[in-house]
Amino acid sequence: MSAPAPSMFTPAAKAMAEKLGLKMGRANLDEFAATLEELAKVNPNIVAVTSDSRGSGKLGSFGKALPKQLVEVGIAEQNLVGITAGLASCGKKAFCVSPACFLTARSLEQIKNDICYSDVPAVLIGISSGVSYGALGTTHHSLHDLAVLRAINNITIIVPADNFEARQAILAAAKATKPVFVRFGKAAMFSLHKPETKFEVGKAITLRAGGDVAFIATGETVVHALLAAGQLAGRGFNCRVLAMHTVKPLDSEAVLKAGRECRAVITVEEHMVHGGLGEACASALLRADVNVPFRIAGIPDEETVPGAQADIFRHYGISMEGLSETALKLLK
Amino acid sequence: MTDRELQLKAVRLRKKTLGIICDAGAGHTGGDLSCLDILNALYNRILNVSPETFSDPKRDRYVQSKGHCVEALYAVLADRGFFPEADLQTVCHYRSHYVGHPTRHIPGIEMNTGALGHGLPICIGMALAGKMDSASYRVFTLLGDGELAEGSNWEAALAAAHYKLDNLTAIIDHNTLQITGHTRDVMSNEPLGEKWRAFGWAVKVVNGHDYAALTGALSQPSEPGKPTCVIANTVKGRGVSFMENVAKWHHGVPSEAELKQALAELDAAEAKLKEAK
């Protein structure tokens, strides 16, 4: 009998989520797959390209409903991205769906040259990203993807935090005329946004106002920042929470505003501390001469601790409790 | 255009290619000269594409996977009127889009290439899109034989056969030399034809400097339901005696004296062709 999966949230965090009125949604991957199928049913030019990954990408239903719009390339990620580029160059709206760990490492050169340099409007979907695969180990983690893609010209990087952001990201990507990378995890996500929230690529969404600590978070870590802000409110601190769904182009204006208006800034991401959201924000702040106490909550440059996604998050302080502690130390 | 007219044009294009390389101070001379007849045949006899139809979705597609031999492609595209010949004086110059590998900034070029092993997967995507749209266009790519050591080609070889892409033709510029030396010494790839056949392709082996043979191999898809691999046996440095079959000319740039000698040889070849009418 297998051990039960560890919970991402402690009882205290669950209580805070309830207090904040957060409702559990589904995995962003499920939201992505449903949205893509919905779009593809009315636009026959939309094509999903998979590398034996339709199951992991939740595209089983898509494949059954729209078999002529799904291209299977087998376990061959270089070919996957090259074929995607060719399809996109001939007018297809190609969504290339593969585990983020392989897509952004094995086929990085194809992303750089065939997609970005050739400037075709393809969409790269990195599934089971970050440490979603947890105990499968480092081969299956993508803690480098934001860093490597940030260093490549001509690609938008979106990391949705909840089902709303996931759907909006896919709607935006489907209309994009330039390359886009979207990164999804496997876990069910709390809903953080109201349906009427305005989503704009490259613009952070303020989930909570405040002037003590500003949490600038992306992807599946945003909820933990929001819970930490809730916990810190109980100790008299008003913390700002920015959902930074677009890592590139970065909403520098929101980052600088946070740096100027708040006593400290903490960035949070499911990525190595090198080259991701945190360093992007640090760079924006320094280049504008904004000096503010600053920390990056992420995965440090070490062999990642073995464990499930929840274990890894907790180990590295990406949790309500961990982020509250980081904030309190910074505010001392 | 007759075979003889193509041969005459090829001599002039070889001279043009050498001129581009010398003006730029860089280039892949040996491979340019080995693949030039293939490009000449494609653009003047095979491909359904012209400057006027380059944005037509129904046009044939050509992707040069061995992107480093772009100087020959530039010469052929300029000759076909895709852009003014004067542009070629800027190859590899500051702020010129005519860089040392193909880019879509240049009229007539479909995709940016240069890193090896990329062209065939891209062409599979193009060919698949054509099948999805029931379009009649064909897709061609040119690979170097040294390039075949890149594993992505073999991923693509599987996929092209799997999807029965008979609208796809991969041409291998089989000059047997790469930067370090003979392919058999660097990384053996023979028997090439058997390999492609085993992957499910129709294979044709031709003399890559013979226009009748190239035309025969490229005019029609070989077999319904199968992609075609044309192994074009070529000579690296073809047309210039001291460059032929010499690996150092992979990216050698002729000196002034060498250029003079090369042009003299090509002038003589041109005169001989004219006499042979």
B196-222 residue pLDDT tens: 999 999 999 999 999 999 999 999 998
Give CA B178 to chain center in angstroms.
Answer: 15
Strand partners, A216: A242, A267
Inter-chain touch B121–A88, beta carbons under 8 Å: no
Query: Which of B112, B121, B130 lies nearest to residue A79, judging by beta carbons?
Result: B121
pLDDT for position A2: 59
Count Cα neighbours of B237 within 13 Å in the Cβ-side half-sphere: 23
Indicate if ipTM > 0.85.
yes
Min distance B102 CA to chain A CA atoms (Å) = 10
Q: Which of A4-8, B85-89, B186-190 has the lowest mean pLDDT?
A: A4-8
What is the token pair recorded at B28?
Answer: 């892949």
Q: Compute the average pLDDT of residues B11-22.
A: 98
Helix, coil or strand: residue A297: strand
Which pLDDT value is given to residue A6? 81
Q: What is the pLDDT of residue A127?
A: 97
pLDDT tens for A193-209 read 998 999 999 999 999 99
Nearest to A142 by CA among A128, A159, A160: A128
Contact A78 B128 (CB under 8 A): no
CA distance B202 to B188: 21
Q: Is residue B276 scored above 90 in pLDDT?
A: no
Domains of chain B, earliest start first: 3-275 (3.40.50.970)
If you average pLDDT over residues A61-70, what whole number do you get? 97
- Tracing tokens 């302080």 back to the chain, one arrives at A317
Q: What percent of chain A lies above the pLDDT cut of 90? A: 97
Most B CBs within 10 Å, among A116, A118, A178, to test the B interface: A118
CB contact, 8 Å: A198 with chain B? Answer: no
Closest Cα in chain A to B126: A86
**Tokens for B52?**
């006027």
Phi and psi (nearest 5°) for A240? -90, 140
Residue of B nearest to A120 (CA): B111
Element spanning A211, H or E: none
Q: To the nearest whole angstrom, how far is the Cα of A111 from the nearest Cα of chain B?
A: 11
% pLDDT > 90, chain B: 98
Name residues whose C-beta falls within 8 Å of residue A142's C-beta, 6 or more positions apart in sequence: A99, A100, A101, A104, A105, A126, A129, A130, A183
Q: Is the pLDDT of residue A332 over 90?
A: no
CA-closest candidate to residue A276, choices A110, A149, A189, A138: A149
Burial of A246 (0-12, 13-18, 19+ CB in 10 A): buried
Q: Half-sphere exposure of residue B166, counting CA atoms within 13 Å on the CB side?
A: 11
Q: Does B266 touch chain A (CB under 8 A)?
A: no
Cα gap A200→A245, rounded to integer Å: 9
Residue B156 C-alpha, separation from nearest chain A C-alpha, in angstroms: 6
The pLDDT value given to residue A3:
65
**Which chain B residues contact residue A178 at CB under 8 A?**
none
Provide the pLDDT confidence category of residue A5 given band limits of 50, 70 and 90: confident
User: Cα–chain-centroid distance for residue B113?
Assistant: 13
Set out the domains of chain A in order of their start, with CATH numbers. Answer: 11-24+193-331 (3.40.50.920), 26-191 (3.40.50.970)
To probe the interface with B, which of A90, A109, A123, A154 has the most B CB atoms within 10 Å? A90
CA distance A95 to chain B (A): 12
